[in-house]
Amino acid sequence: DAGVIQSPRHEVTEMGQEVTLRCKPISGHDYLFWYRQTMMRGLELLIYFNNNVPIDDSGMPEDRFSAKMPNASFSTLKIQPSEPRDSAVYFCASSLDVGAEQYFGPGTRLTVT
Amino acid sequence: RKEVEQDPGPFNVPEGATVAFNCTYSNSASQSFFWYRQDCRKEPKLLMSVYSSGNEDGRFTAQLNRASQYISLLIRDSKLSDSATYLCVVNSNSGYALNFGKGTSLLVTP
């Protein structure tokens, strides 16, 4: 079975550019989570969806960040405009149920110069 | 107070040693507990769930102490391949999303 799929795996962009990260959750998982990981702050939850509906976006740092889930098999996280402090690894994860174990994608390593 | 706290380490142990990590959590109503493992530059992966009665998976034993609000992970007969960061995970105040600790780094040396 395919796990969580993320693309791109690496992204290098210049400050001010728009960045779009993509995620395909495991089929049948109703919950999808976006995380950001840095050395300083560890793994931070940005937003999560249940059945394609955003449930909690309190972790989204600011208006420059937005996330969508147009259908059960696809989600995007967009940063516009990007800034150097957005450099991090962004993970997508999915799960079957509330409080259940989450399965992570390989991550997107974002560098903003 | 942070919701999930771990000693960041690093724990440096020789092969064959037994090592234990503890993790404390702040929400007494938490119901789900896990240990995840994260290798360098990789995604976190589920190591094991933690059940109230404690559970074992090969060389790994997880314990939950609800009264003191901590969970532990014991690794026996450490292998070089056990070198990784171990993340303590607890469900959040909302009862929905999981809270990840910052992790404890383990280095097993020959």
A62-78 residue pLDDT tens: 899 999 999 999 999 99
Of B42, B45, B91, the CB nearest to A99: B91
Read off the pLDDT band of B25 (50, 70, 90): very high
Report the distance separating Cα B108 and Cα B12, nearest Å: 6
Distance of CA A45 to the CA centre of its chain: 9
Which residues, in sequence order, are bridge partners of residue B60? B57, B75
Which of A47, A101, A103, A111 is the best residue to mutate to test the B interface, defined by the most B CB atoms within 10 Å of its own CB? A101
- Is pLDDT of B31 > 90? no
Residues of A in contact with B43 (CB under 8 A): 91, 104-107
Residues of B in contact with A102 (CB under 8 A): 46, 98
Say which DSSP state A8 is in: -
Read off the pLDDT band of B93 (50, 70, 90): low
Read off the pLDDT band of B28 (50, 70, 90): confident
Interface of A with B in 88-107 (CB under 8 A): 91, 98-107
CB-based contact A107 B87, cutoff 8 Å: no
- Residue A14: partners with Cβ closer than 8 Å, 6 or more residues away: A82, A112, A113
Residues of B in contact with A92 (CB under 8 A): none
What integer pLDDT is reported at residue A90 of this predicted model?
Answer: 98
Average pLDDT, chain B: 92
Q: Which residues of chain A have pLDDT under 70?
A: 1
Residues of A in contact with B42 (CB under 8 A): 106-107
Which of A43, A55, A90 is the best residue to mutate to test the B interface, defined by the most B CB atoms within 10 Å of its own CB? A43
What is chain B's length? 110
What integer pLDDT is reported at residue B68 of this predicted model?
Answer: 93
Report the distance separating Cα A30 and Cα A23, nearest Å: 14
Residue that the structure tokens 């105040």 belong to: B93
Q: How near does any CA of chain B get to the CA of A105, in Å?
A: 7
Of B43, B91, B95, the CB nearest to A104: B43
Report the distance separating Cα B20 and Cα B78, nearest Å: 11
Count other C-beta atoms under 10 Å from residue B86's C-beta: 25
What integer pLDDT is reported at residue A1 of this predicted model?
Answer: 64
Residues of A in contact with B87 (CB under 8 A): 43
